[in-house]
Structure 1
Amino acid sequence: MNYQFKVPDKKKIRVILDTDAACEADDQYAIVHALMTPRFIVRGIIAEQFNSYGGETSVEKSYQEIEHILKLMNLSDTIPVKRGAFRPLKSEEDTPESEGAKFIVEEAMRDVEEPLYVLCQGAITNMALALKHQPEIAERLTCIWIGGGSYPKGGWEFNLCNDYHAANVVFKSKLQLWQVPMDCYTQMQVGYAELEQKVRPYGEIGKYLFEEMQQYANSDMAFWTIGESWALGDSPAIGLAMNPGCGRSEERNAPTVDKEGHYYESNSNRKIKVFHEIDSRFILEDFFAKLYLNYKE
């Protein structure tokens, strides 16, 4: 990557992205941002299911989307891409096959100095399965999850409701979890005009990011948008891993959740970090600057 600044090795972190990249149009921005961030040693990307929306082929769709992004960035064959579980958990005891979960376990158990962060930008299925396969990894990584409704009551939110059993597995574990719920991640508002100015001109990847969002935004699938802006809701995972100080959080007792996404107090003293505010301009401007520095003609 084309930077004059350097990140000391002792300040670098290992990163695994877990993303339902073909679900809509903001995962791609987060993936590209992560791959341009020199603090990150990106160990691999996992294709996450969005089965309730994309059907049984959702993982394969996400896998192909990730591969396409890597090709546009000239990073094919340099970043491992793994397929995650092809469906949500049917219960908290369920253990469907997941290449991605095994990859998380393998990376977490490596004896290296750089701390490991797993950035979950969709359902938290593969993280839950990794914990079930090898619970001791809970103390060997930090998981940043974009998901869940607003506290204290919760309610429907796509990522959580797409696999609420997996969410309960994670909430009940000892995993160091940073949760970014909907009231926080929707603060990542950006207008299409700004994206046309600051993203579209920069390389094949910039053109693709802008045009893919426009294609999706003008389809019947994006019924919730208001016409001229988007919330890049997965990007806080990148910002917080890069700079934990770019958000405001509180420590809470981990809840349990039902299939509608409602939170319930648990009897345990299990603590998680919940973010309520995010510095969207820090994250967006960092992304824009990195895209410009790497892809300007």
Structure 2
Amino acid sequence: MAFEFDVPDYKKIRVIVDTDAACEADDPFAIAHALLSPKLIVKGIIAEHFKVPGSMEKSYDEIMTILDAMDLEVPVYHGQKGPLGQDTEVSEAVSFIIDEAKREDDKPLFILCQGAITNVAKALQVEPQIKDKITVIWIGTHGEAPCTAPFTEFNSVNDIEAANFVLQSGANIWLVPSHVYITVNIGLSEIQRRISPCGRIGQHLFNNMVDYNNSEGAGWTQGESWSLGDSPAIAIAINPGCGHYHEAVAPLVLDDTSSAVKEDNPRIRIYTDVDSRYILEDFIAKLEIAYGNNR
């Protein structure tokens, strides 16, 4: 990797990437972004379910495919197999979160959540004291309450119990709601021209996106573009100032994913926008430096 700059060691942070990687086509872009970013010490990647039987295992397999395409080795862990109330076992991913949070290390630990938030909720349920040792950046919910759901927000609806458990836990939460994460737009033509030439990982990202865009599951999309909605979790970890935010009372997520007021909920950080130019260009530049024109 030929970066001609250094990140001072004291500015580096530990991260765990929590991802439902096989659900749609944007998670793989975010995973690759994290792995390419020298500020982020990726301690592990954990597979998240998306409320379909076998979905966690599919996410695990997609993570392994990404690592193979990047010629990288990073610890990968199986997460909970389903929502918080349905899976009573403690997965290896949850044990890993707890162990890493309790580890003595002067570098802060961020958990970058790109799907349902079941794994983090389970870890906090098993070891509540780790709430003071982690920062959770979550792509999810419709944001500050009160807010009627303009559509069913996918990441929160896949485990509403876990969403509310984490939001009420008192952990340091940085929330990236739907009206923010949908703004990171990229055209399929740009992915073809700028990303697909970048090694096996670039080709995988493009092919995976095209395949999903043509599937029945993508019937809601516009046809030749996509929102890389998971990527803000990575970019904010790299640069918390790449968007505007404020503190507000954490929302209560209702069954239809509307945000309701619950006055005794703790205050959290809620992003109101992100710099999509920075997010996309930072990722593409890193990909070009590392794998450009090298299939």
CA distance in 2, matches of 1:73, 1:132: 34
Equivalent of 1:125 in 107, 118, 121: 118
Give the CA deviation at 1:117: 0.3
1:39-54 superposed matches below 5 A: 39-51=39-51
Q: What's 2:106 paired with?
A: 113
Q: 1:218 to 1:198 in 2, by over 3 A?
A: same
Q: 1:194 to 1:167 in 2, by over 3 A?
A: same
Q: What's 1:198 paired with?
A: 194
Structure 1: gaps (5+ residues): none
Q: Deviations over 1:124-168 (max 9, x none)?
A: 000001111111111111000001124431422000010000011
CA distance in 2, matches of 1:154, 1:138: 29
Q: What's 2:218 paired with?
A: 222
Q: What's 2:36 paired with?
A: 36
| Structure 2 residue 186 is matched with structure 1 residue 171 | no
Equivalent of 1:67 in 55, 64, 68: 64
| Structure 2 residue 9 is matched with structure 1 residue 13 | no
Work out whether residues 108 and 116 of structure 1, in 8 Å CA contact, stay in contact via their aligned partners in 2: yes
Work out whether residues 143 and 259 of structure 2, in 8 Å CA contact, stay in contact via their aligned partners in 1: no
Work out whether residues 144 and 180 of structure 1, in 8 Å CA contact, stay in contact via their aligned partners in 2: yes
1:120-269 superposed matches below 5 A: 120-152=113-145, 153-155=147-149, 156-268=152-264
Q: Which secondary structure does the structure 2 equivalent of 1:86 belong to? A: coil
Structure 1 outlier segments of 4+, above 6 Å: none
Give the CA deviation at 1:269: 5.4
Count of equivalent residues: 290
CA distance in 1, matches of 2:257, 2:28: 25
CA distance in 2, matches of 1:167, 1:68: 28
The one-letter amino acid of 2:14's match is R
Give the CA deviation at 1:196: 1.1
Tell me whether 94-103 or 223-232 shows the greater mean CA deviation.
Answer: 94-103
| Structure 1 vs Structure 2 CA RMSD | 1.2
Work out whether residues 243 and 275 of structure 2, in 8 Å CA contact, stay in contact via their aligned partners in 1: yes
Work out whether residues 21 and 27 of structure 1, in 8 Å CA contact, stay in contact via their aligned partners in 2: yes
Q: Percent same amino acid among aligned pairs? A: 50
Work out whether residues 179 and 273 of structure 1, in 8 Å CA contact, stay in contact via their aligned partners in 2: yes
Q: What TM-score, normalized by structure 1, do the two folds share?
A: 0.95
Structure 2: gaps (5+ residues): none
CA distance in 1, matches of 2:257, 2:265: 21
